[in-house]
């Protein structure tokens, strides 16, 4: 029983290490996903900024073209030979001036938007860089932790073999079968109860478990039951 208990302690330790070992890549995958999402958002914001800048450039080009047209219309006005031509040129000039003033208003609006977009991109670029930095650190840390855990798991193989050889074969088989299913396969019987599921044991069974005459499994949770003498510190108080 003592060897089996030691074996179980080792197995539970291994189980813990394996669980942590498997959890690390999962955790990193989740982090990578988050960083990727922020990166995509940043890309969209950058595209939006570029689009706005392009839009402003286009409007400015229109203003410049209208400026040229205005010059030509002014020429026409000066060269007008009669009232009709004079009026037509004046109308042209008014239309062009209106177009220029409209475009200028649009440029002011888009410049405000550009400032906002630029500020957002700046903030999120910084955040993204920090996230990437953090991910890199987590990856390095995870890699190191995984190597450490793997070393622990590898190192236990020889120790486990030694302990297993001290446990009777049929007992070992029973233990391994339960361990595979429940993890903790060996539990203490205490105060007349199974400490695996806290079911009350039959008094006769509990007495026999205390005597250690033969092996019992809990009728409810099927774990192997063992009895431990209470600690001296407990009986002293
Ligand atoms: Zn039980």
In this structure, the answer to whether residues 158 and 187 fall within a common structural domain is no
Q: Please give the distance, rounded to the nearest whole angstrom, from the Cα atom of residue 203 to the centre of ligand 1.
A: 15
pTM: 0.66
Q: What angle do CA 221, 226, 231 make, to 5 degrees?
A: 125
In this structure, the answer to whether residues 178 and 119 fall within a common structural domain is no
pLDDT in tens, the chain (237 residues): 889 999 999 999 999 999 999 999 999 999 999 999 999 999 999 999 999 999 999 999 999 999 999 999 999 999 999 999 999 999 999 999 999 999 999 999 999 999 999 999 999 999 999 999 999 999 999 999 999 999 989 999 889 999 999 999 999 999 999 999 999 999 999 999 999 999 999 999 999 999 988 899 999 999 999 999 876 654 444
In this structure, the answer to whether residues 141 and 25 fall within a common structural domain is yes
* Structure confidence at residue 213 (pLDDT): 84
* Boundary of a domain, candidates 164, 197, 225: 164
Q: What are residue 197's phi and psi, to 5 degrees?
A: -130, 0
* Structure confidence at residue 47 (pLDDT): 97
* Structure confidence at residue 20 (pLDDT): 95
Segment 131-189, tens digit of pLDDT:
999 999 999 999 999 999 999 899 998 899 999 999 999 999 999 999 999 999 999 99
Q: Please give the distance, rounded to the nearest whole angstrom, from the Cα atom of residue 182 to the centre of ligand 1.
A: 11
In sequence order, which residues have a C-beta less than 8 Å from that of residue 103 and are 6 or more positions away?
59, 60, 62, 63, 66
Q: Please give the distance, rounded to the nearest whole angstrom, from the Cα atom of residue 166 to the centre of ligand 1.
A: 25
If you write DSSP's letter for every residue of 153-191 in order, what string do you get?
HHHHHHHHHHHHTTS-HHHHHHHHHHHHHHS--EEEEET
Distance (Å, whole) CA 190 – CA 230: 9
Q: Look at the block and give the residue holding tokens 């590898």.
A: 154
* Structure confidence at residue 231 (pLDDT): 62
* Structure confidence at residue 235 (pLDDT): 47
Distance (Å, whole) CA 54 – CA 186: 72
Q: Please give the distance, rounded to the nearest whole angstrom, from the Cα atom of residue 159 to the centre of ligand 1.
A: 28
CB neighbourhood size of 12 (10 A) = 15
* Boundary of a domain, candidates 147, 164, 181: 164
* Structure confidence at residue 236 (pLDDT): 43
Q: Please give the distance, rounded to the nearest whole angstrom, from the Cα atom of residue 201 to the centre of ligand 1.
A: 9
210 by DSSP, 3-state: which? helix
Distance (Å, whole) CA 151 – CA 101: 74
* Structure confidence at residue 237 (pLDDT): 42
Q: Please give the distance, rounded to the nearest whole angstrom, from the Cα atom of residue 229 to the centre of ligand 1.
A: 19
In this structure, the answer to whether residues 93 and 208 fall within a common structural domain is no
Task: Please count the structural domains in the chain.
Answer: 2
In this structure, the answer to whether residues 183 and 153 fall within a common structural domain is no
Look up the domain containing 105 and give its range. Answer: 2-164
* Structure confidence at residue 233 (pLDDT): 53
Q: Please give the distance, rounded to the nearest whole angstrom, from the Cα atom of residue 218 to the centre of ligand 1.
A: 5
Residue 55 exposed, middle or buried by CB count within 10 Å (0-12, 13-18, 19+): middle
Residue 190 exposed, middle or buried by CB count within 10 Å (0-12, 13-18, 19+): middle
In this structure, the answer to whether residues 45 and 100 fall within a common structural domain is yes
Distance (Å, whole) CA 225 – CA 52: 74
CB neighbourhood size of 117 (10 A) = 20
In this structure, the answer to whether residues 112 and 7 fall within a common structural domain is yes
* Boundary of a domain, candidates 132, 164, 196: 164
Q: Please give the distance, rounded to the nearest whole angstrom, from the Cα atom of residue 169 to the centre of ligand 1.
A: 23
* Structure confidence at residue 232 (pLDDT): 60
């Amino acid at each position: 029983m003592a060897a089996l208990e030691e074996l179980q302690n080792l197995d539970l330790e291994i189980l813990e290490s394996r669980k942590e070992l498997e959890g690390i890549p999962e955790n990193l995958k989740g982090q990578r996903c988050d960083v990727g999402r922020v990166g995509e958002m940043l890309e969209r914001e950058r595209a939006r900024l570029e689009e706005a800048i392009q839009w402003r450039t286009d409007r400015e080009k229109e203003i410049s073209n209208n400026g040229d047209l205005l010059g030509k219309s002014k020429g026409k006005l000066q060269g007008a030979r009669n009232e009709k031509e004079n009026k037509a040129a004046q109308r042209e000039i008014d239309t062009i001036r209106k177009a220029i003033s409209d475009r200028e208003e649009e440029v002011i609006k888009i410049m405000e938007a550009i400032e906002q977009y630029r500020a957002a991109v700046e903030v999120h670029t910084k955040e993204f860089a920090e996230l990437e930095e953090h991910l890199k650190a987590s990856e390095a840390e995870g890699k190191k932790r995984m190597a450490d855990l793997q070393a622990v798991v590898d190192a236990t193989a020889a120790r486990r073999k030694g302990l297993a050889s001290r446990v009777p074969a049929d007992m070992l088989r029973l233990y391994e079968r339960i361990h595979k299913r429940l993890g903790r396969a060996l539990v203490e019987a205490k105060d007349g109860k199974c400490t695996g599921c806290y079911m009350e044991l039959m008094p006769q069974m509990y007495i026999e478990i205390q005597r250690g005459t033969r092996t019992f499994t809990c009728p409810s949770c099927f774990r192997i039951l063992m009895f431990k003498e209470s600690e001296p510190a407990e009986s002293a108080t």
